[in-house]
Amino acid sequence: MKETFAKISPFQVDPKELEEAFGLDDNSFDAANDIEKESMVEMHKSVSYWADAWRRFKSNHVSMVALGVFIICMLFAFAGPKFVPYNYADQLRNAQKLGPMEYSKQEQQVKLIEGKCKAFYATALRPGSITALEKGDYVIKKGGKTYAFTLDKVAENVIIMYKPVGIEEELVIVRMKDIAKDGSFSEYETIQYTDTAAKGAEQLKLVKNVFPHLFGTDSQGRDSMVRTMFGARVSIIIGIIAALIVLLIGSIYGSISGLAGGPVDFVMMRIVELIYSIPEVLVVLLLQVVLKDPLQAWFDSSKSAFVKGLSDLGAGIVSIFITFALLYWVTMARIVRGQVLQLKKQEYVTAANALGASNGRIIKRHLLPNCVGQLVITTCLQIPSAIFLESFLSFLGMGVSAPMASLGSLCSDALQTISLFPYRLIFPAIILTVIVLSLNLVGDGLRDSLDPRLKK
């Protein structure tokens, strides 16, 4: 190498000198390896569309806070019921019409004796229902041990406790009225128990700690917070599914219309205009009434798992979906068509066409991915509008059917007793507003980050 270099060089340079002067050595003339090549490229790491959008979205503080709030709402709606020992349909006895943080009389007693004994049992998990134990055999299972006993008379308003007396632990039965205000009690009956359960003995369950009714209870003794959680869950599910239906129909319809052009486009757009000018809510109200009975009949007769899932949601909600599928996709279709009209003049569409791609493939692979920004934004803003519609219908008494709750139906239930219990309206109304507000702000943020051209 050195020799070669010396030979072709017009100057007679001593390789040694060259090495000293420029810091070059033998290896300097080898082909560059991959790492060296990489370091020579003066470009940023390529950033994907989503990463770039996410970067922009993150810098928008309002939208980030709104996203956080929405996630909290989702947790409230979907994880919340797991932490509350009540269910949306449970009617707690003697616990009707409680205000926020209030306890029923029995719950107060249970709270008082919580510290006095190890555990107490009742027929059900709910403190409100510790009222009567029928005659018969009962069994309590705890820590691998079985306590079986027989009651020979009806025991009303009692609590069965697992109480340390001296060294031995024993089961006692205490009447509620013997419990003093400070939770202490002196009168009790000891229960004789064996460790083999009789056949058909009813198992008593441990009463959990009394969970506060943070939002109070309604006139039927149902815990309002759990109902609000389920209501929020129903509203969010409706919002998301309805938006997805709109996305599906709107994007397919819009892209077919845009790509086809000509008379097909003309007819399809006239249909859109027609549906657009129909006063939707009139039709929606009618649809609600019309669809409910046939849907219920369909649910009752069909056995497939899909229909079963739908029937869990209830006929009211399913007819909301149908309404969206029939009437609300037109805005989406118009937006997608507008985008497709612009995109289809692009070279890559011509190229795909020339390579023999079918129209379906062009729509799927080229057109829709390129308007994904618009699709995401419109879908996101569709969610609050679906939630609005559902709550509106529920408010008029046509949405979800009892005992299921939605935020709208909770508000409408609260309206009957509004002057006495205003908090029953306030809580679901605030949650509803917060969900819609956060989704609106997230949608605005998405618009700014996904479609920089629209940025103001």
Nearest to 130 by CA among 148, 105, 149: 105
* Residues 182 and 113: beta-carbon distance below 8 Å: no
Q: Which of 132, 289, 351, 402 binds other proteins (CB under 8 A)?
A: 289
| Residue of the chain from 13, 154, 290, 402 that contacts other proteins (CB under 8 A) | 290
169 is written with which tokens?
A: 């632990």
188 contacts other proteins (rule: CB under 8 A): no
299 lines the binding site for other proteins (CB under 8 A): no
State the nearest-atom distance from the C-beta of 72 to other proteins, in Å: 16
Q: Please report whether residue 418 would count as binding other proteins according to CB under 8 A.
A: yes
Candidate ranges 132-140, 200-208, 369-377, 436-444; the one touching other proteins (CB under 8 A): 436-444
Q: Does 227 sit near other proteins (CB under 8 A)?
A: no
**HEC letters along 381-441:** HHHHHHHHHHHHHHHCCCCCCCCCCCHHHHHHHHHHCCCCCCHHHHHHHHHHHHHHHHHHH
Q: Measured from the CB of residue 371, what is the shortest distance to other proteins in angstroms?
A: 14
Report, in Å, the least distance between residue 387 CB and other proteins: 9
Q: Which residues, 339 to 368, sit near other proteins by CB under 8 A? A: 341
Q: Give me the least distance between CB of 221 and other proteins, in Å please.
A: 23
List the structure tokens of 446.
Answer: 């998405």
Regarding 279 and contact with other proteins (CB under 8 A), the answer is yes
Residue 235 burial (C-beta neighbours within 10 Å; 0-12, 13-18, 19+): buried
Smaller CB separation from other proteins, 321 or 395:
395
Q: Where in 309-338 is the site for other proteins (CB under 8 A)?
A: 334, 337-338
Show the tokens assigned to 452.
């920089």
b/e for 102-134, b at 16 or more Cβ within 10 A? ebbebbebbebbeeebeebbbbeebbbbbbebe
Decide whether 193 or 388 has the Cβ nearer to other proteins.
Answer: 388
Q: Which among 95-103, 132-140, 204-212, 410-418 is the span making contact with other proteins, rule CB under 8 A?
A: 410-418
Kindly report the backbone phi and psi dihedral angles of residue 293, in degrees, each rounded to the nearest multiple of 5, phi listed first.
-70, -50
Residue range at the interface with other proteins (CB under 8 A); choices 69-77, 100-108, 118-126, 427-435: 427-435
392 binds other proteins (CB under 8 A): yes
* Residue 452 near other proteins by CB under 8 A: no
Q: Which stretch binds other proteins (CB under 8 A): 80-88, 160-168, 189-197, 385-393?
A: 385-393
Find the largest Cα–Cα distance for the chain: 121
Tell which one of 186, 277, 301, 304 touches other proteins (CB under 8 A).
277
Work out whether strand 136-142 and strand 202-203 pair parallel, antiparallel, or are unpaired: parallel
* Closer residue to other proteins, CB minimum distance, 75 or 290: 290
Q: Does 213 bind other proteins (CB under 8 A)?
A: no
Number of residues interacting with other proteins: please give it, by CB under 8 A. 45
Nearer to other proteins, 159 or 256 (CB): 256
Give me the least distance between CB of 454 and other proteins, in Å please: 10
Question: Using the rule CB under 8 A, is 436 a contact of other proteins?
Answer: yes
Choice from 19, 388, 401, 403 touching other proteins (CB under 8 A): 388
Name the one range near other proteins by CB under 8 A: 114-122, 146-154, 280-288, 370-378: 280-288
**Residue 164 vs 397, nearer CB to other proteins:** 397
For other proteins, give the closer residue by CB, 310 or 393.
Answer: 393
Q: Out of 50, 348, 433, 452, which residue is the one contacting other proteins (CB under 8 A)?
A: 433
Residue selected from 134, 156, 293, 312 as contacting other proteins according to rule CB under 8 A = 293
Q: Angle formed by the axes of helices 407-416 and 423-450, to 10°?
A: 150
User: Strand order of the sheet with strand 202-203?
Assistant: 145-151, 136-142, 202-203
Please identify, using beta-carbon distances, which residue of 86 and 395 lies nearer to other proteins: 395
Positions that interact with other proteins (CB under 8 A): 273-274, 277-283, 285-287, 289-290, 293-294, 334, 337-338, 341, 384, 388, 391-392, 395-397, 408, 411-412, 414-415, 418-419, 422, 425, 429, 432-434, 436-437, 440-441, 456
